[in-house]
C-alpha cells in the first residue's frame, strides 16, 4: 500500500538538543530504520518532514546578516534540500537498489488567508519568557508559549494544493521512494496571470502532508513525532493515552494549538475524507503504528488482526 509518512521537526531534532548537523543526522539515522522496515515489508512510501527548528535557525542567521538574508519561502527551500539530503542518504544506506529522490515541493496558498494576520506556526529555538519578549521587542517578532517555553511564531496559511503532486505520483508509480513537501512545502501564491510567486510563511507540515496524501490517493497517513501517542489531558494526572479510535470521537476534542492539534486535525480530515487510517506516534514506532500496535490510530476499518485491511 502507499503510505505518506510525515516526520515532525521535533522527531528530527529532539527538544532541547543543540541544532547541529550531527544531532540531526543521528536522529534521522534512527528514524529511517523504521521507514526502511515499511519499505522492506512491501509498502510504497512518500516521506514528508517538518522544518520548524531548522528554518528558525536559518532565519536567525539571516537576521545577523545586516538585512541581506533571504525570505521565509527561500529558507524553506533551503531546509527541504538540507533535510531531504540527510534523509535520502541515511535511507539509501539501508536500502540496496531502491531508488530514492528528494523533490523541492511548492504548496499553493491564498494571499488573503487570515493566517497572515494571526501567526501561529512555531519556528526556531525555545526561549524563556523574558528572553522571548525581549527578542519580540527588538526584532518585531510574534512569540507564543510552547509547553513550558516560548518560541517565535509566523504565519501558517492553509495549503490548497501541492503543486508537484502529479510528478510525485509519477515517481511513486515507477517505484521511487519520494522525499518531498518539506516544511509543508514552499509557500507560493498564484498571480492573476497564473504565475506562481513565493510568499513569507511556513506551512503546517501535517496539513500539507494530509493534503498530499489525499491528492495521491494514499492508503494511509502516518504523522510521526517525538510523542508516543495522542493523549487526553496531556501533562496532567488525568492523562489518557488513545489507541485505536474512531476519528468522529475526536472531532470536538481540543488539543494544544501548535503541537498536537494540527496533527489530530490533519489525521481526522484524511481518515474521514478518504475512509482510510491515519496514525500518530513516535517515528521509531512507524511500523507498529501502521498495524495498530502502538501510537494512536484513527481508523474505522481495522481487521481482526489489527493491521490495515485494504479494500478489494
Known catalytic residues? 9-10, 121, 205, 263
Distance CA 227, CA 15 (A): 11
| Residue among 108, 72, 83 at smallest CA distance from 27 | 83
Phi and psi for 233 in degrees, rounded to 5? 55, 45
User: Any bridge partners for residue 189, and if so which?
Assistant: 197
Q: In what order do the strands lie in the sheet with 100-102?
A: 100-102, 177-179, 44-49, 2-7, 220-225, 278-282, 296-298, 244-245
C-alpha cell belonging to residue 13: 531534532
C-alpha cell belonging to residue 200: 513569507
- Strand-pair category, 161-162 with 106-108: antiparallel
Distance CA 184, CA 218 (A): 17
Residues 6+ apart with CB under 8 A from 226: 8, 10, 11, 14, 15, 282, 283
* CA–CA–CA angle 153, 154, 156 (5° rounding): 120
Amino acid at each position: 500500500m502507499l503510505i505518506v509518512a510525515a516526520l515532525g521537526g521535533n522527531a528530527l531534532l529532539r527538544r532541547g538538543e543543540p541544532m547541529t548537523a550531527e544531532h540531526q543526522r543521528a536522529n534521522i539515522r534512527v528514524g529511517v530504520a523504521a521507514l526502511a522496515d515499511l519499505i522492506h515489508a512491501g509498502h510504497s512510501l512518500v516521506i514528508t518532514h517538518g522544518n520548524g527548528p531548522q528554518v528558525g535557525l536559518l532565519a536567525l542567521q539571516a537576521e545577523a546578516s545586516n538585512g541581506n538574508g533571504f525570505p521565509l519561502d527561500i529558507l524553506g527551500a533551503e531546509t527541504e534540500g538540507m533535510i531531504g539530503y540527510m534523509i535520502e542518504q541515511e535511507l539509501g544506506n539501508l536500502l540496496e537498489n531502491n531508488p530514492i529522490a528528494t523533490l523541492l515541493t511548492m504548496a499553493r496558498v491564498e494571499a488573503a488567508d487570515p493566517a497572515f494576520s494571526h501567526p501561529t506556526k512555531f519556528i526556531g529555538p525555545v526561549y524563556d519568557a523574558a528572553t522571548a519578549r525581549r527578542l519580540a521587542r527588538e526584532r518585531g517578532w510574534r512569540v507564543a508559549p510552547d509547553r513550558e517555553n516560548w518560541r517565535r511564531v509566523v504565519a501558517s496559511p492553509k495549503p490548497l494544493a501541492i503543486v508537484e503532486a502529479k510528478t510525485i505520483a509519477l515517481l511513486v508509480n515507477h517505484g521511487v521512494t519520494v522525499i518531498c513537501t518539506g516544511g509543508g512545502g514552499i509557500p507560493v501564491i498564484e498571480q492573476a496571470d497564473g504565475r506562481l510567486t513565493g510568499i513569507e510563511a511556513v506551512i503546517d507540515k501535517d496539513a500539507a502532508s494530509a493534503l498530499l496524501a489525499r491528492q495521491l490517493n494514499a492508503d494511509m497517513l502516518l504523522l510521526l513525532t517525538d510523542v508516543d501517542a495522542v493523549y487526553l489531558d496531556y501533562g496532567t494526572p488525568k492523562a489518557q493515552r488513545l489507541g485505536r479510535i474512531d476519528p468522529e470521537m475526536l472531532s470536538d476534542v481540543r488539543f494544544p494549538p501548535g503541537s498536537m492539534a494540527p496533527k489530530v486535525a490533519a489525521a481526522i480530515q484524511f481518515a474521514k475524507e478518504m475512509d482510510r487510517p491515519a496514525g500518530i506516534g513516535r517515528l521509531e514506532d512507524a511500523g507498529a503504528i501502521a498495524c495498530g500496535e502502538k501510537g494512536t490510530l484513527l481508523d474505522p476499518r481495522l481487521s481482526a488482526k489489527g493491521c490495515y485491511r485494504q479494500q478489494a
